[in-house]
Amino acid sequence: MAIGIGLIGMGVVGGGVARILCDREHEFKHVLGLDLDIRKIAVRDLSKPRAIDLLPDRFTTNPMDVVADPTIQIVVEVMGGVDAAYDLVLTALQNGKDVVTANKALLAERGDSLFEAAVQNNVGLGFEASVCGGIPIIQTLSQGLVANDIQSLYGILNGTTNYILTRMTEAGANFDPMLKEAQDKGFAEADPTMDIDGTDAAQKLALLCRLAFRQRVSSGDILKEGISHITALDIDFARELGYTIKLLGIARVVDNRIEARVHPAFVPHDALLADIRNEFNAVEIVGSAVDAQVFYGKGAGELPTASAVVADLVAIAERRKAGLGPAGAPLAPLPDADLVPVDDIQTGSYCRFTVHDKPGVLAQIAALFAGENISIETVIQHGRSETEGGTVPLIMITHDAPEAAMQRAITRIGNLSAVTEKPQIIRILHP
């Protein structure tokens, strides 16, 4: 029995999906017994040359032709965006079609009603490719670790920022030139805002929380901070202190509530995540039965992401062939998560202050920390200013303290006349 496939989008990922389906047609048909037939592809420009050889009548500029086609059983949405993609995916599900998507923004912002539509229509909604590209993290959480209570997950969820931070570390460079290098090499978009400000990682973390904890977490409720303020000086101090800086997504159960955050962090040199370089992603999951497991691989790119899309597609096709419904526990409706308020999240922090080199400054700063019951673990100040009244960097590592108390202390310290620049704060990972 042939299974009709419809693609919405033929960009980098869509082209990779079509390429894999065509290149592996023999294996799918003769090894798995699946005849996967691409029956329609929605594209913006019919005249654009394509890397795959399909009949012209398979292409359309109207994506509704795909979701309304009665000969198509599985729709693959790789067009991106939210509003238009939402209408198409919802219509496909309501028409009784299984859907596979790589669109994390769509699921993070509008996923509730899509998951509910999938349940109501007894169809599958696969989204393996939406988080960590070629790493099968969605299947791992939804099926492979179903026997576990997930206690925590944390990892590098965005390849663009990991590439930039890796190159800053290796080259001793500041942020801007390494962002330009990432763009030149195709690891960063022309507008990289959602990557570098942490939005992309927060959307992915929200989806992982839904699977790991079976509770609804909105990406807008996650503490979020990006990497554009990181400097070569911070990289150097991190190295001296035994750390590497990474942008992390962190979710864990704390006193029966969920703590969820995305931010740059000092990662100890001996931690596995410290060795994850360039565009690669990695996630460590701690479960009640398996303890800690680490998953590592390419987090983006044409073929890694397309591989995840095709894995979902094949899994759904096999279940269709066997006459079975969707696999895994339903993802809707789910209760809203009881989140640890951002102000109550506790972390240790690296604090870098640019201060006038004069007596009493350290005592002033320490007193303001003490006023918020924040204790100091380490202080570093190298040398003296070459000019009288010049400035020097003053580094302090604090013990764990609530976010609200830390922010109050930093605001007051930043207002001191001896502090000449905005204080730099980076949280510390304690695995």
For strands 401-402 and 391-398, give the pairing. Answer: unpaired
User: CA-to-CA distance for 284 and 249, rounded, in angstroms?
Assistant: 10
Q: Quick check: 222 and 202 in contact, CB under 8 A?
A: yes
For strands 2-8 and 74-77, give the pairing. Answer: parallel
Our answer to whether residue 40 is catalytic in this structure is: no
Closest alpha carbon to 12 in 217, 296, 251, 304: 304
User: CA-to-CA distance for 82 and 86, rounded, in angstroms?
Assistant: 6
Provide φ and ψ at 76, rounded to 5°. -110, 115
Query: Tokens 């009244």 — which residue?
Result: 389
User: CA-to-CA distance for 123 and 43, rounded, in angstroms?
Assistant: 25
Query: 414 Cβ partners below 8 Å, 6+ apart?
Result: 422, 423
Which residues face 296 on adjacent strands?
A: 282
Please give the single-letter amino acid code of residue 181: E
Please give the single-letter amino acid code of residue 69: D
Of the residues 204, 224, 246, 298, only one is catalytic, namely 204
Strand order in the sheet with 98-101: 59-60, 35-42, 2-8, 74-77, 98-101, 125-126
Q: Quick check: 251 and 208 in contact, CB under 8 A?
A: yes
Which residues face 351 on adjacent strands?
A: 396, 425
**For the chain, the helix, strand and coil percentages under 3-state DSSP, each to the nearest 5:** 40, 25, 35
Q: How far is CA 370 from the centre of its chain?
A: 36
Query: Tokens 């554009």 — which residue?
Result: 228
User: CA-to-CA distance for 73 and 96, rounded, in angstroms?
Assistant: 8
Closest alpha carbon to 430 in 208, 229, 270, 239: 270
Specify the length of the chain in residues.
431
DSSP H helices in 216-284? 232-241
Q: Quick check: 143 and 258 in contact, CB under 8 A?
A: no
| Residues marked as catalytic | 204
